[in-house]
Amino acid sequence: MTDSPRAYTSDELRDKFLHEVRTIAAYWAGLPDHDRATGKAMTVRDRCDGVAFSILALLDGTTLDIPGIDLVFQPDEEDKEYYIQNGENWIEPGTVVSTTLRHHFSSPTQQTADETQG
């Protein structure tokens, strides 16, 4: 508790966010090479997926220290016209894609299947 409560500054929030990301990376890097409960090897892919999922969960606001964070696309003003002229889809400025990101993160098996189909 503080004597004079105030809103966090953007610098303070950035620092808190980066601290959490560093903590996530350190956690996954520090896991043993084999799961002690199952004996299953911890692959590099397992660690990378763990880091990615944990960061998505952080953005979703599942930690106690940081609420959910909006991930908002901010394309250049000229992008829309460029894509239209080239017959391609474009991204509207301000499009938010951070609704339950961790739930949309596919498993390595599903991701591999998606990559081979797309």
Within a 13 Å sphere around the CA of 30, how many CA atoms are in the beta-carbon half? 6
For residue 104 the two structure tokens come to 């949309």
Q: Does residue 106 fall inside a structural domain?
A: yes
Q: Does residue 1 fall inside a structural domain?
A: no
Q: Does residue 61 fall inside a structural domain?
A: yes
Q: Does residue 67 fall inside a structural domain?
A: yes
Beta-carbon contacts of 63 under 8 Å, excluding residues fewer than 6 positions away, are 20, 57
Query: pTM here?
Result: 0.76
Domain span at residue 60 reads 10-117
Count H helices and E strands in the chain, helices first. Answer: 5, 0
Averaged over successive runs of 10 residues, the pLDDT of the chain (118 residues) comes to 92 94 96 91 93 91 85 94 96 88 66 50
CA angle (54 as vertex; 52, 58 as ends), nearest 5? 115
pLDDT value of residue 50: 92
Domain count across the chain = 1
Q: Does residue 4 fall inside a structural domain?
A: no
**C-beta of residue 24 within 8 angstroms of C-beta of residue 51:** yes
